[in-house]
Amino acid sequence: MKVLVTGGAGYIGSTICSALEDNKHIPVIIDSLVTGNKTFTERRIFYKADISDSKALKKIFSDHKDIEAIIHCAALVTVPESVKKPYLYYHENVSKSLELFKFASDSKIRIIFSSTAAVYKSSKDQMVTEDSPLGPDSPYARTKIAIEMALQDFCNAYGTKAISLRYFNPIGADPKMRSGPSADAPTHILGKLLSIFDGKESAFRIAGIDWPTRDGTAIRDYIHVWDLAEAHIKALESFDHLVTDGNPYSVINLGSGQGTTVLEFLEAFEEVSGAEITRNDSSPRPGDTAGAYANGDKAWDNLGWKPRMSIEQGIADAIKWNRKVS
């Protein structure tokens, strides 16, 4: 199957492209390269363009009339930046996605959307199902739920069919080292720890120590990026069984089902890397939350999917990738 991957030069998008190829599918990438890595497009079908560029989309679908689905990963994703620049995030994430969805609906192309678990409302329970209350705490997360709502409306009004995959926290790199995280100024925990491990930063800042968790630090559900990519293959290949004319839209959580606190992750990193990380307690960043972890029953029941790779493997693969590109 030939699949258009928006944001296919990014961390997650490029890993999905590799999983597509490994499963005998053909990715076609559209990426503006504003944040993407052109290296990840090498030896692949690639169009440097914005996802809202109708002329570029028409050319892509004219060149590749056999494209059967879109995996939509393109987005700005940095929470603190979204707090400072909400217009940028709503414009890039929401407005441009609407143009892509309009094109897809006119062309009757199936859509798999890269959403986020950050759409859920913070609660003491912390484990969330697809039916848990929504309450995004940052402009970034609110753009994702806005896109989901628009996509569902498109499905109900225009006959579009779509699946939103709500990611928890991807870590690691392609186990074959074809791609990995490429941010120059990392904001997520593993990127910050790697920066300290490399001597680029001196200490790890723990953003909040009074969260309602077992050790006071925020809790997250970490999932190896390769497991995440494989879930997209499952969704793609099971698409027609998951969404139908009578049920054209579905939401599925993608997570490990296990919550890991910041301190627990830090200890895992020290164990895998052999390094001792200096840590400083500080206040939460704008948009930070206590966090949540997934109930994975729907992913297993609908996709036959659950993560296979551990946090330690994700850390080890990230360290290996970091050494490769350093």
Helix axes 262-273, 189-197, angle to 10 degrees: 40
How many CB atoms lie under 10 A from the CB of residue 54? 12
**Exposed, middle or buried: residue 178 (CB in 10 Å: 0-12, 13-18, 19+)?**
middle
**Catalytically annotated residue among 140, 167, 222, 293:** 140
Token reading at 2: 């030939």
Residues 6+ apart with CB under 8 A from 58: none
How many CB atoms lie under 10 A from the CB of residue 68? 15
140 in active site: yes
Token reading at 146: 């806005």
Q: How far is the C-alpha of 326 from the C-alpha of 323, rounded, in Å?
A: 5
Cβ-count burial 246-272 (b if 16+ within 10 Å, e if not): eebbbbbbbbbbbbbbbbbbbebbeeb
Q: Which residues are identified as catalytic?
A: 140
